[in-house]
Amino acid sequence: MTMIWKTRKLGDIFQIKPPKSETNRLGDTAHISFVPMEDLGILSTMFTAKKEKQLKEVIGKYTYFADNDVLLAKITPCFENGKMGIARNLKNGVGFGSSEFIVFRSNGQVIPEYLFYILCTTNFREQGKKRMSGAVGHKRVQKEFIENYLIQFPESISEQQHIVAILDKTFSAIVCAKENAEKNIKNSQILFKNYLGGVFKNKDNGWQTRKLGEICEMINRGISPKYTTTDGVCVLNQKCIRDHKINFELSRLHDFGSKKVSDDKFIQIGDVLINSTGTGTLGRVAQVKELPFNATVDSHVTIVRPIKNMFYNDFFGYSLIFIEDEISKRGDGCGGQTELARNTLKHDFEITYPKSLAEQQRIASQLDFLSAETNKLETIYQAKINELEILKESILQKAFSGKFTTENIDIDSQVQA
């Protein structure tokens, strides 16, 4: 039997923003579910309504929805990230939540789960992103785009349910495979960190301990840049430092103008850069092992330069990676304003090291080998994660183009490949 497909605008088959008057059946003191933005999942069908409020507390300024409605975040970056879900098991069947939710209610032609997977597609989110409006940081997807977005769907509800069942199985398998790959990446990082800890904790009598300020010729914050898009000096910022690596592609340009710049403003091979502000970024460490061009850092990054000829470069880098977790806990301030003072770095942190440069080089070579093996594993598992994302999008495209059957996809073999 041939499957009959239809093409309709979202606004023609879904009621968008159901009226709050539907809650008139409840009293002002009735308890209902409350869902802030953070409780909505990312590309996740279900979410748990963890909070309850009285109806009178929320009816005036929050978005109304009910069981089986589909929720979608409309503000950046939540829209692009895929913040969405289907409301289920709400208190008294009613929920209120963020004013940044779009609410879809089926008129019976399309089941909520089918719409959910359409909203998951890259095409929908990319098209919506192009049609966002508003101030930077507060852009929202336009109402007209949502209402006029065309979707294809089988006329038969049973066929929709069949497609959703296959997608449920596929997404579940992909999520499980991604979790395993991410777990393997984490395990490889833990293995390296444990080995690193063993090196610096099980030191012999030929080692000594000194404060960081005693063994460094420079511990300085960077500049307050005046950014330009044309000629200028490369400036590294917090985003450039991650996973003990420096990403020069994320740097920006600074125009010094006619001002003479002292050499200590520029980074050198062997310097260690430390993120010195921010929650989540504070304490990240990376050593400068290559310099594709002259570069400096902004005021959120500290340059740590050891006394010349005291350390084998790579060993010094590993010694600071070893205390990275400790550094990340020593910021002062609160919220996103946490900062690591220069004097804290100089006087409160110690480095343990062998005097012999040859011994430092031997240890660094061992750590280099293990680090390279760890990076290989991470690359393999990250490639697997990327492949799973491509597979997921491919399956979604088939599902909504009328080319999707149980015969043309072998879920288990593709996910495990």
pLDDT at 414: 54
Residues 245 and 382 in one domain: no
Q: Closest Cα partner for 146 from 7, 6, 11, 8?
A: 11
Mean pLDDT confidence for 174-183: 92
The secondary structure of residue 222, as a DSSP letter, is: -
Q: Where a domain ends, among 355, 372, 401?
A: 355
Q: Where a domain ends, among 137, 153, 169?
A: 153
Q: What's the alpha-carbon Rg for the chain, to the nearest Å?
A: 27
Average pLDDT, the chain: 89
Least confident of 41-50, 135-144, 325-334: 325-334
Question: 3 versus 325: which is more confidently predicted?
Answer: 325
Q: Where a domain ends, among 133, 153, 173?
A: 153
Residues 124 and 254 in one domain: no
The SS3 call for residue 279 is: coil
Q: What is the DSSP string of 36-85?
A: -GGGS-BS-SB----EEEEHHHHTTTSEEEETT-EEEE-BTTHHHHTBEE
pLDDT over 80 at 90, yes or no: yes
Residues 140 and 228 in one domain: no
Alpha carbon distance 20, 61 (integer Å): 11
The SS3 call for residue 217 is: strand
> What per-residue string of b and e applies to 340-367 under the rule 16 or more CB within 10 Å gives b?
beeebbeeebbbebbeeeebbeebbeeb
Alpha carbon distance 242, 286 (integer Å): 7
Residues 398 and 366 in one domain: yes
Alpha carbon distance 347, 344 (integer Å): 5
Give, in order, the Cα–Cα distances in Å from 173 to each of 82, 85, 177.
19, 19, 6
Residue 386 corresponds to which amino acid? N
Which tokens go with 208?
């000594």
Residues 139 and 162 in one domain: no
pLDDT at 26: 93
Least confident of 73-82, 93-102, 131-140, 248-257: 248-257
CA-angle at 407, arms to 404 and 410, nearest 5°: 95
Beta-carbon count within 10 A of 7 CB: 8
pLDDT at 259: 65
Which tokens go with 360?
């430092």
The secondary structure of residue 315, as a DSSP letter, is: H
The secondary structure of residue 18, as a DSSP letter, is: -
Query: Where does the pLDDT of residue 76 fall: very low under 50, low under 70, confident under 90, or very high at 90 and above?
Result: very high
pLDDT at 407: 47
Alpha carbon distance 179, 123 (integer Å): 25
User: Is there a domain that residue 48 lies in?
Assistant: yes
Residue 36 corresponds to which amino acid? P
Q: Closest Cα partner for 411 from 181, 170, 179?
A: 170
Residues 377 and 341 in one domain: no
Query: Where does the pLDDT of residue 54 fall: very low under 50, low under 70, confident under 90, or very high at 90 and above?
Result: very high
Query: Where does the pLDDT of residue 406 fall: very low under 50, low under 70, confident under 90, or very high at 90 and above?
Result: very low
Mean pLDDT confidence for 402-417: 53
Is-contact 23 55, C-beta < 8 A?
A: yes
Distance of CA 280 to the CA centre of its chain: 12
User: Is there a domain that residue 191 lies in?
Assistant: no
Give, in order, the Cα–Cα distances in Å from 133 to each of 74, 104, 125, 129.
11, 21, 14, 9
Q: Closest Cα partner for 276 from 358, 331, 357?
A: 331
pLDDT at 280: 78
Give, in order, the Cα–Cα distances in Å from 93 to each of 28, 49, 88, 109.
15, 11, 8, 22
Query: Where does the pLDDT of residue 417 fall: very low under 50, low under 70, confident under 90, or very high at 90 and above?
Result: very low
pLDDT over 70 at 174, yes or no: yes
Query: Where does the pLDDT of residue 257 fall: very low under 50, low under 70, confident under 90, or very high at 90 and above?
Result: low
CATH code of the domain covering residue 351: 3.90.220.20
Is-contact 415 177, C-beta < 8 A?
A: yes
Query: Where does the pLDDT of residue 226 fall: very low under 50, low under 70, confident under 90, or very high at 90 and above?
Result: confident
Is-contact 285 324, C-beta < 8 A?
A: yes
Residues 227 and 345 in one domain: yes
Residues 99 and 211 in one domain: no
Q: Which domain covers residue 128, as residue numbers?
A: 5-153
Residues 14 and 141 in one domain: yes
The string of pLDDT tens digits covering residues 265-324 is 789 999 999 999 877 789 999 999 998 888 899 989 999 999 999 999 999 999 999 999
The overall longest dimension of the chain from CA atoms, in Å, is 82
Residue 228 corresponds to which amino acid? T
pLDDT at 281: 85
Q: Closest Cα partner for 84 from 140, 41, 39, 139?
A: 41
The SS3 call for residue 93 is: helix
Mean pLDDT confidence for 332-355: 84
The secondary structure of residue 4, as a DSSP letter, is: P
Domain count, the chain: 3
pLDDT over 90 at 143, yes or no: yes
Least confident of 46-55, 68-77, 262-271, 376-385: 262-271
The SS3 call for residue 246 is: strand
Percent of the chain clearing pLDDT 90 (strictly above): 67
Placement of tokens 């929050």 in the chain? 62
pLDDT over 80 at 124, yes or no: yes
Q: With DSSP H G I counted as helix, E B as strand and the rest as coil, what are the percentages for the chain, rounded to 5?
A: 45, 25, 35
The string of pLDDT tens digits covering residues 92-122 is 999 999 999 999 999 999 999 999 999 999 8
pLDDT over 90 at 227, yes or no: no
Residues 129 and 174 in one domain: no
Q: Closest Cα partner for 226 from 274, 259, 185?
A: 259
User: Is there a domain that residue 194 lies in?
Assistant: no
